[in-house]
Amino acid sequence: MTPDAIRALLEEVAQGRRTPDAALAALKDLPFQDLGFAKVDHHRALRLGVPEVIFGQGKAPDHLAAIARTIVERGHDLLVTRVDAAQAEAVLAAVPDAQHEPRARTITARRAQRPAPPPHPVLVVCAGTSDLPVAEEARITAEACGSRVETLYDVGVAGIHRLLAHTQVLRRAGVVIVVAGMEGALPSVVGGLIDRPVIAVPTSIGYGAAFGGLAALLGMLNSCAPGLTVVNIDNGFGAGYAAARINALGAREQGA
């Protein structure tokens, strides 16, 4: 039941064509979202530049392509995550101007008009080259959600001077995403150097007692650097989305 339908119902009551009791019964099981949720969602998409996001993993290529075409035809931005080669081929056939990033396993396409990005960039830091796919997923997601993004890659804690050499880059970021596998120590060090929000992303990189990212995850959750928050193992998308949402707060305040 849409707001229009509710208004029509109320008009009938106003015109005496429906009794208050009959209207009450009709309203009783009113689906909640019809009262305006969809509109709110729409507002959010416009304001934050959040695209429609599809989790590609496990979806049939033709199915994925159809969803993607529908989205861009409605004039929405497109972000597909966790796509493999066959899926990418199908989606690019349907949306020829889309961008496929094999390393990040993403496909993006621009359709919507975007507001100006927040004043500070999101910074994506990663510990080793093996963490790049997750870091890139975070970067592309944050960009798709409307933030500018800078990157600082391959600055693991075992060579801490590489990180310390870039404190200027760290300090100009609005939000920092730190991606690390193995022992997951990098976010603690970064969190101690700056006073901006830090989102830690454990990756499944490692072997033996890394237990598929568990070691890095536990390390990040137990970080002694206050103000750190954590997302799921390999969840570059979640980190990028959260970072853009946080980064947009400043812009929103100014515009509010």
Footprint on residues 75-114 left by a copy of itself (CB under 8 A): none
| Binders of a copy of itself in range 174-193 (CB under 8 A) | 174-175, 182-185, 188-189, 191-193
Per CB under 8 A, the segment of 30-38, 87-95, 109-117, 147-155 that binds a copy of itself is: 30-38
Subset of residues 148 to 167 that bind a copy of itself, contact rule: CB under 8 A: 156-162, 164-167
Alpha-carbon span 77 to 80, nearest angstrom: 10
DSSP 3-state assignment of 89?
helix
CA distance 34 to 43: 15
Determine which helix (DSSP H) or strand (DSSP E) holds 243, and give its type and residue range: helix 236-255
User: Is 66 one of the binding residues for a copy of itself (CB under 8 A)?
Assistant: no
Place of tokens 């001077």: 161
**CB of 9 within 8 A of CB of 18?**
yes
- Which segment (5-13, 68-76, 90-98, 108-116) binds a copy of itself by CB under 8 A? 5-13
CB 176 within 8 A of CB 193: no
62 binds a copy of itself (CB under 8 A): no
**Are the C-beta atoms of 200 and 148 separated by less than 8 Å?**
no
Which of 64, 68, 122, 241 forms a contact with a copy of itself (CB under 8 A)? 241
Residue 116 in the binding site for a copy of itself (CB under 8 A): no
Binders of a copy of itself in range 127-146 (CB under 8 A):
127-130
